[in-house]
Amino acid sequence: MMAHTIVVNQEKCISCGACAATCPGSFKLENGKAHPIKAVVEELTCEKEAEAGCPVQAILVS
């Protein structure tokens, strides 16, 4: 099984909270910006949906 990396571009993030609302197990708002709870996950659950739902494309799940 391949691990997946989650990155939030802090320059692009507008702190809307959509990622945390879509995927609360993987994203949190901290100091006004979104952060991945874990930078690497073994299995994707809702992370791709959070990536697709980010209005400024600040999230990259690979």
Tokens 């809702």 correspond to what residue? 46
Q: What is the mean pLDDT of residues 11-22?
A: 97
> What pTM, to 2 d.p., does this model score?
0.93
Q: What is the pLDDT of residues 24-48, one digit of tens each?
A: 999 999 999 999 999 999 999 999 9
DSSP-derived 3-state class of residue 24: coil
Whether the CB-CB separation of 54 and 8 falls below 8 Å is answered with no
The Cα 25–Cα 38 span in angstroms is 9
pLDDT in the model for residue 1: 66
Domain edges within the chain: 4-61
Output the CATH code of domain 4-61.
Answer: 3.30.70.20
pLDDT of residue 3: 95
